[in-house]
Amino acid sequence: MSLLDNFPERIEFFIKAANKHHLEMILVGGGAVNFHGFQRHSADLDFWIDIHEKNLKNLLSTFSELNYNLGDIPDKVKRGEQNISIKISPVFELEIITNFNPGKSFYEALKESELVEKEEFHYNVLSFNDLIQSKISSTRLKDKLDVEELHRIKLNKNKCLSIPRSNCFCSKLFCSNSFYMNF
């Protein structure tokens, strides 16, 4: 299989290859927003990676398995000055983020991230609090909307947890303790 086949399978194929090659990465951006409960469109799927030498070698191995032979990682990527985008459909990209700021290091964020385990693969999602922090520091209007909606969802979820579920006024989305992105 290559990234030019069926879209959901392409994402899964990337994550399986990343798992196989021990690529350390965290789902951030719109994918993390969706995971934490605010369902909105995003034209890409963002994974933040650590840019230490060993992890960049793991990234090269992952890309090689996907039939993208780069030879070497560009210097700007190594320095965290440039991201890598892979077009996986006419309207969707996989974005490898090298410079991301939730107010802490990659490994601190990884430690606090949420692990999603599927049958054949796993991935980490930026924690709710780190996601909010990263969105607050952004100047983009859609990031401000994400913060508002995520806070509203958390407030409604907390209200639901304080009353019997049968009396809950909000949707099942707010009462659920787990929000998983479907690939």
Per residue in 81-109, pLDDT (tens digit) is 999 988 877 777 889 999 998 999 999 99
Tell me what pLDDT residue 27 has. 95
**Tell me: the pLDDT tens digits for 22-69?**
999 999 988 888 888 777 777 788 999 999 999 999 999 999 998 888
pLDDT at position 41? 77
What is the 8-class DSSP label of residue 52?
S
**pTM here?**
0.78
Q: What is the mean pLDDT of residues 113-119?
A: 93
As a whole number of angstroms, the distance between CA 3 and CA 14 comes to 8
- For 69-79, what is the mean pLDDT? 90
Per-residue pLDDT, 158: 58
Per-residue pLDDT band for 15 (boundaries 50, 70, 90) equals: very high
Of residues 16 and 142, the one with the higher pLDDT is 16
Reply yes or no on whether the pLDDT at 116 is more than 60: yes
Which structural domains are found in the chain, ordered by start?
A: 7-175 (3.30.460)
Contact of 130 with 102, CB cutoff 8 Å: yes
Residue indicated by tokens 């909307």? 145
Q: Which residue has the tokens 């999602």?
A: 125
159 pLDDT tier (thresholds 50, 70, 90) = low
Q: Which of 181, 123, 176, 124 is nearest to 154 (CA)?
A: 176
Nearest to 126 by CA among 100, 144, 151: 100
Give CA–CA dist 81/101, Å, rounded: 13
Distances (CA, A) of 133 to 21, 45, 137: 30, 19, 6
Of the two residues 175 and 9, the one the predictor is more confident about is: 9
In this prediction, residue 137 carries a pLDDT of 76
Buried b / exposed e along 88-102 (16+ C-beta atoms within 10 A): beeeebbbbbbebeb
Q: Is the pLDDT of residue 165 over 60?
A: no
Give the count of beta carbons closer than 10 Å to the beta carbon of residue 112: 16
Structure tokens at 130: 């780190």
- 105 vs 141, which has greater pLDDT? 105
Q: What pLDDT sits at residue 163? A: 47
Task: Provide the pLDDT for residue 167.
Answer: 44
